[in-house]
């Protein structure tokens, strides 16, 4: 009887160890591709200065409303972006550079996204990058914080 109990406990132990975890993204490329991203906030200096957008604080309809911007990084190096009207969808390209410390986004037709930027933070809950952008033919240094879309 005791041997059956011991064998049962061993079998129970193996059943707990055999549970599989979901594959969480681990590389920066996998993290970028794991969700659709939306803009949480934009801090700028240059032509535009200060906090120019923050989700929940910037009134919708303002010139800097970015609440509808969405971007999805696809495995084939394409980036699918929705503009700040929520209507126009474009396909650009993306690539990680310099040991995944920078990201280059091009042809998304969104001044906030297009360009090369330093990756400041990249987790499954936050993607923050900074770099020079051109807005109305003026140079703007921007820090963009993105979060998974709701």
Global confidence as pTM: 0.80
In percent, the amount of the chain with pLDDT more than 70 equals 83
CA angle, residues 118, 148, 60, in degrees to nearest 5: 95
What domains can be seen in the chain, in order of their start residue?
A: 27-148 (2.40.128.270)
* Span 118-145, pLDDT tens digits: 999 999 999 999 999 887 888 889 999 9
Q: What is the pLDDT of residue 60?
A: 66
pLDDT at 21 exceeding the cut of 80: no
Spatial distance between the Cα atoms of 114 and 50, rounded to a whole number of angstroms: 20
pLDDT score of 2: 53
Average pLDDT over residues 40-59: 88
Task: State whether the Cα torsion 128-131-134-140 is positive or negative.
Answer: positive
Q: Classify residue 74 as left (phi > 0), alpha (psi -120 to 50) or beta.
A: beta
pLDDT, tens only, 55-73: 988 776 667 889 999 999 9
Q: How far is CA 145 from CA 5, 17, 57, 131, in A?
A: 55, 38, 15, 12
């Amino acid at each position: 009887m005791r041997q059956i109990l011991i064998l049962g406990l061993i079998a129970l132990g193996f059943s707990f160890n055999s549970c599989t975890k979901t594959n969480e993204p681990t590389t920066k490329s996998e993290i970028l591709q794991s969700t659709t991203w939306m803009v949480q906030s934009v801090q700028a200096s240059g032509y535009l200065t200060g906090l120019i957008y923050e989700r929940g604080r910037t009134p919708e309809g303002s010139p800097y409303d970015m609440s509808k911007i969405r971007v999805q990084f696809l495995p084939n190096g394409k980036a699918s972006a929705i503009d700040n009207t929520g209507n126009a969808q474009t396909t650009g390209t993306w690539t990680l550079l310099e040991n995944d410390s920078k990201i280059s986004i091009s042809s998304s037709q969104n001044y906030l996204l297009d360009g090369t930027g330093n990756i400041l933070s990249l987790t499954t809950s936050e993607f923050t990058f900074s770099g020079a952008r051109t807005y109305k033919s003026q140079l703007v240094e921007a820090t963009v914080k993105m979060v998974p879309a709701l």
